[in-house]
Every structure is written in structure tokens, then in C-alpha cells.
Amino acid sequence: MSNRNSLKPTCDCAIDRALHRDENYIFITGAQKQSDSPSGKSYIAYYIRIGVNDIETKRRYSEFESFRKALTLLHPALIVPPIPEKHSLVDYAALQTRVKDDLPMVEKRKRMLQTFLNRVAKHPELGKDHVFHRFLESGGSWSDVLHSPPLSTLPKNPLQMVISKQPDVQAHTFNAVLSSNLIPTPSAAYQLKNPDPRFEESEKFTFRIANYMSNNLDKSQRKVIRRLGELANDYAELGAVYNGFSLNETGAVANAIEKVGQAVDASYTETGQMVTSLEGEFAEPIQEHAQFAQIIKQVLKFRHMKHAQVEMIENTLNNKKDTLDNLLRMENEAKRLEEAMTRERTIGANAVNVDEINQTEDENPYRTMSNSSSSTVRLDRPSSSGNWSGGPMKVISAVGHTLQNIIDVNPEATRRNQIGMSKDAMGVLQEALDITKPDLAAISTELQADLDRFQTEKIQDMRDMLIAYAKIHIRYCQKVLYYYSKLDMITNILLIEP
């Protein structure tokens, strides 16, 4: 169990206590076919029990699926363990049976779902999630859980959510600020300007390993197991033949042949046993880890997107700032001009050197044409993208100006409007930035910790897997050896006799 202090307080419900205080193991004790009375369609229900307590509930596969999805939406930055895959279309076509009728598949699902629940329970964050506890609660309807918070208040886009614990902000729920239109959403192809080197490394590695596991390792180990199964069947046939053979012979030879038959039968049983053990103790963990690699890919992608989001917010904020600055500057200029005009009228003799003023205005890159007439001071709408040089641009801008001069009745009001809007936008963006930046930092830390934790878990799993593989083979060799030794003994005795 984890010693790591989670940021969330525990809900301290009964399930939580059962899981964490008493450190119980979750068992899936059975799988039974059930049918909903109204529709009549049957499904397999898996019975879940915690430790030796009486707490037992039942859930079907689709509920597991929905539960897992909920977890990934609630905690997009955490590595949520995988569940056994759905029967793909290809499998349907090949086998033409539904999973509920396929006993070995049901058994496999039982095993893998049990592993899933226990991995979730062991996870320092996920294990404490109350949604998880409600999933395990007996008598609790899953659709109720789905339709109540926090699941009901989740945004569709996880980027619109705050994950870490922050003051004044509710986590894991729809956040108004982040959902505003002003917040940009990064596209998948966005390149980070300032990427985090650690995570870059992780991303590359995960990519490679995910690929390798699914395409290479999983396939080759599956082939071995399948071939062993075929061999077991061959041995069964051969054993039967030998038994028949021994009946046709007499005396010591018949005895020897019978022993061969027994040895071959033993090969059949033990090879079959080996296949089953390998499936459960090796093939399934490999499958899980191949899935894990894909999951980690997703989680890293999420963090990448969050990072992108922060960068884009910053960018937008800076741009808006620049815009605002320009607007304010123009506003100031307009004011000054106004004042200058008024002063000029009242103090006629005070000959202000308009040229002087003009000169100062010359430095203003945004000065287009300065008109003495205050009421006709027109200032171009400052283009935030900077000076547009070039012939055609000049024409367009000239045309634009003319149009604006026609349309814009009150340029000052527009400008003030724009200033207001910019200020508001900036406010929102700043707020968002204030939320997302620390969020990103927290996510990154949490994710790195989870990756480290997972790495340890993975090594542990691999160790167990490899040891199991070796032990299964040792057992197989020893058992069959016993039968063949007996055969050897008998045959040797036979050779002494005439």
C-alpha cells in the first residue's frame, strides 16, 4: 500500500477502510450468467468481494468499461490500469460466439478484471477515489453513480478541468474560466516552444516500447503457447495409439509399449497444464503491460497538451497585452492631441510649434496621418501585427481607412470599446494562466511520480512473470522426466530378459 501522501483526503467510507486500513485483497469470486428480466438478454455478472468480508457486489463488463473511462476522465494525468479488451469484430467473425458463451474467455476476464481492481486499489491516488469505492459498494447502482457528481459535472474536454488542488478552485470538475471561448485549445500537432526535456525523453521511449511490446513480444510469446497447445493434442492422440498397440502385443513388449503410452499421456497432461499456467502467469501480464504502454502514451500526450495549453494561453495573453498597450497609447495620443487643440484655441498667441508636436509624433510608429482638426483626427486602427509595408498593403490599408472613415462614426467609442474588451480578455486569460500554470507544474510532478511508481511496479511484475515462466518449465520437465524414467527402467529390464 502507498506511503505516499496523497493530496486528497480520504473519504473514509466503509470500502475505503476495508481496502486501506485492513489492506484487503479484492477477489472476483465468480462469473454467472444473468438476464435482465424485461429485455431477456443475458450477460455475465462478475461477483466482487473484498477480503473475507461480506461486502460483495456484482458488476458486468460494460460497467467495468464505463468505470474505467470515468477514472480516465477524472484523472487524465494518472496511469489508470487497463481492463481486458473487448471482443473485436475480427474475433467475432473468427469465433462466432459471444464472449458470454466462451468459457475460457470468461475465465480470462475474471482473472484480468480482478487484477485490474487490485491495481486500482494499490494506486495511491486512484485507490482513494470515492467513485472507485462506490463501484465496489454492494447494492450500488452504477448508473446512479454516473449521473451524480463528480461524474456528472465532468467537462468533455479534460483540458477544461483543473486537476490539482488549488485554493478557491474546485478540481475535477467543469471550470468556467477554462471553458471560455477565449481559452485556446491546442491542436494535436502543436510543437512546444519550451519542452520539458524529461518528458520528451519519456515520450520517445514510451513510443518505442509500446510499439515493440504489442507487435513483437506479445505476438511471439503467444505463438509459443499456441503451438504447445497443438502439441498437447498430438500427444493425446499418440498416447491412445500406443495403448491400442500394447493390446495387440503380448508379454514384456506389451508392457513396455504400455509404459510408452503412459509417458506420452503424461506429456499430454503436463503440456496442457503448462499452457494454462503460462496463459495466466505470463501471457496475461504481458498483454497488460502492452496495454499499459499505450496508456502511458496517452497520459504523456495529455500532459503535453496541457503544457501546450499553458504556452498558448501565455502567448495569447502577451498578444492581448501588446494590443492593449497599443490601444492605450493611441488613446493617450488622442487625448494629448485634444488637449493640444483646446489649448491652441484658447491661447492663440501661444504659438505651439505644431511641427514640434508633429515631430514627436513622428516617432510614433503608429502615426499615420495627423490632422490638425481634432474632430477629424483619425487614427488608424492599430494593427497589432505591426507595420505593413509593401505596395498592395498600402493600397488596402488606404482603402480600409477610407471605409472606416465612412463606417466608423465614432472611432473613439470603438477604441474605448476595444480597450475594454481587451482588458476583460486579459483578465480572463490571466486568471486562466494563474490556474493552469501551477496546475501544469502539479500535473508534471504527479505524473513523474506516477511514472516512477509504475516503473517499480513494472519491474516487479516482470520479475514475477519471468520467474513464473522458468518455474513452469522446470515443473513440466521434472514431471515428464519422471514418467520417462519409469519407461527407461522397464525397457532396460526387458532387455535383460529374452
Partner 1 sequence: MKICGNYILALKFSLVIEYSEDYVKWDVHATTDAFTPRMEYDDPLQQFSESENYYYSPYAIQANDSTESVVIDTPPIISSPVPEPAPRSVVSTPSPVTTPDIKSSTVEILPMTAVISDPQKHQDVNPKPVRRRYQDFVWLHSALSLEFTACIVPPLPEKHRLEYIKGDRFSSEFILKRQISLQWFLDRISRHPLLQKSQSTRIFLESSDFKNDHISQTRHIPPSASLFDTIGDTLINAFAKIKKPDEKFEEMKESITKLEDNLNIVERLYMRINKRQQDLHNDYSNFAASIQGLSALESNITNSLHQFAETCKAYSDAMKEMTNIEEIQFLNEIHELLAYCNAAKDVLRARDQKQLDFEELSGYLHQAIQERERTLHPGRSYNRNGGLNITDYVTDKYNDFRGISVETARREKLSKLQARITELQEEVTRTNDESNGFSIQVMKEFDVFQKTKILELKQGLLAYADCHITFFQKGTVIWEKVLPVLESIDGVNGDGLVHA
- State the DSSP code for 449: H
Q: Rounded to whole angstroms, how far apart are CA atoms 82 and 88?
A: 16
Which of 137, 331, 344, 457 is the binder for partner 1 (CB under 8 A)?
457
Closest CA to 284 of 216, 221, 209, 211: 221
DSSP per-residue string spanning 289-301? HHHHHHHHHHHHH
Identify the residue among 180, 221, 298, 448 touching partner 1 (CB under 8 A): 221
Give the residue, chosen from 86, 204, 208, 336, that forms a contact with partner 1 under the rule CB under 8 A: 208
Provide, rounded to whole angstroms, the least separation between the CB of residue 86 and partner 1.
26
Question: Given candidates 217, 328, 334, 357, which one binds partner 1 under the rule CB under 8 A?
Answer: 217
Query: HEC states along 105-164?
Result: HHHHHHHHHHHHHHHHHHCCCHHHCHHHHHHHCCCCCHHHHHCCCCHHHCCCCHHHECCC
User: If binding is defined by CB under 8 A, does position 147 make contact with partner 1?
Assistant: no
User: Quick one: which of 244, 365, 390, 420 contacts partner 1 (CB under 8 A)?
Assistant: 244
Give the side-chain half-sphere CA count within 13 A for 228.
Answer: 20
What cell numbers appear for 439 in the block? 496546475
- Candidate list 12, 36, 65, 230; residue touching partner 1; CB under 8 A: 230
The residue type found at 10 is T
- Which residues, numbered 248-267, are part of the site for partner 1 (CB under 8 A)? 248-249, 252-253, 256-257, 260, 263
Is 300 a residue that touches partner 1 (CB under 8 A)? no
Q: Note whether 21 binds partner 1 by CB under 8 A.
A: no
Residues 319-358 that bind partner 1 (CB under 8 A): none
Cβ nearer to partner 1, comparing 443 with 480: 480
Q: Determine, following the binding rule CB under 8 A, whether residue 484 of this chain makes contact with partner 1.
A: yes
Nearest residue to 482 via CA among 165, 213, 267, 242: 267
Angstrom distance (rounded) from CA 231 to CA 241: 15
In three state form, how does the secondary structure of 52-79 look? CCCCEEEEEHHHHHHHHHHHHHHCCCCC
**Strand 42-50 relative to strand 56-60: parallel, antiparallel, unpaired?**
antiparallel
Question: Side chain identity at 316, as an amino acid letter?
Answer: T
Contact 401, 380 (CB under 8 A): yes
C-alpha cell of residue 422: 481587451
The Cα-based distances of 86 to 46, 100, 156, 245, 284 in angstroms read: 16, 12, 23, 47, 14
Among the listed residues 245, 331, 361, 444, the single contact to partner 1 using CB under 8 A: 245
Assess 2 for contact with partner 1 (CB under 8 A): no
What is the side-by-side order of every strand in the sheet holding 42-50? 26-35, 42-50, 56-60
Region class of 251: left (phi > 0), else alpha (psi between -120 and 50), else beta: left
Q: Binding to partner 1 by residue 234, rule CB under 8 A?
A: yes
Note whether 470 binds partner 1 by CB under 8 A.
yes
Q: Round to whole Å and give the CA distance between 425 and 432.
A: 10
Q: How far is the CB of 267 from partner 1 (least distance, A)?
A: 9
- Residue placing its CB nearer to partner 1 in the complex, 62 or 233: 233
- As beta bridge partners, residue 57 has 48
Reference 327, options 421, 418, 388, 410; nearest CA is 418
Rounded Cα–Cα distance for residues 74 and 150 (Å): 8
Nearer to partner 1, 33 or 208 (CB): 208
* CB 244, min distance to partner 1, A: 7
Residue 18 as a binder of partner 1 (CB under 8 A): the answer is: no
Segment interacting with partner 1, rule: CB under 8 A, options 29-37, 100-108, 238-246, 335-343: 238-246
Does 455 contact partner 1 by CB under 8 A? yes
Which residue's CB is nearer to partner 1, number 399 or number 467?
467
One character per residue 148-187, x = contact with partner 1 (rule: CB under 8 A): ----------------------------------------
Identity of the residue, 151 or 480, whose beta carbon is nearer to partner 1 in the bound complex = 480
User: Nearest approach, Cβ of 226 to partner 1 (angstroms)?
Assistant: 8
Judged by CB under 8 A, the number of residues near partner 1 is 59
Rounded to the nearest whole angstrom, what is the least distance from the CB of residue 265 to partner 1 in the complex? 14
Q: Show contacts with partner 1 in window 56-115 (CB under 8 A).
A: none
**Candidate ranges 79-87, 98-106, 328-336, 454-462; the one touching partner 1 (CB under 8 A):** 454-462
CA atoms within 13 A on the CB side of 425: 22
Q: Given the complex with partner 1, which of 238 and 421 has the nearer CB atom?
A: 238
Q: By CB under 8 A, name the one of 231, 328, 357, 449 that touches partner 1.
A: 231
Query: Segment contacting partner 1 (CB under 8 A): 13-21, 161-169, 205-213, 327-335?
Result: 205-213
Q: How far apart are CA 132 and CA 149, in angstroms?
A: 13
Positions touching partner 1 (CB under 8 A) are 205, 208-209, 212-213, 216-217, 220-221, 223-224, 227-228, 230-231, 234-235, 237-238, 241-242, 244-245, 248-249, 252-253, 256-257, 260, 263, 455-457, 459-460, 462-463, 466-467, 469-471, 473-474, 476-478, 480-481, 484-485, 487-488, 491-492, 494-495, 498
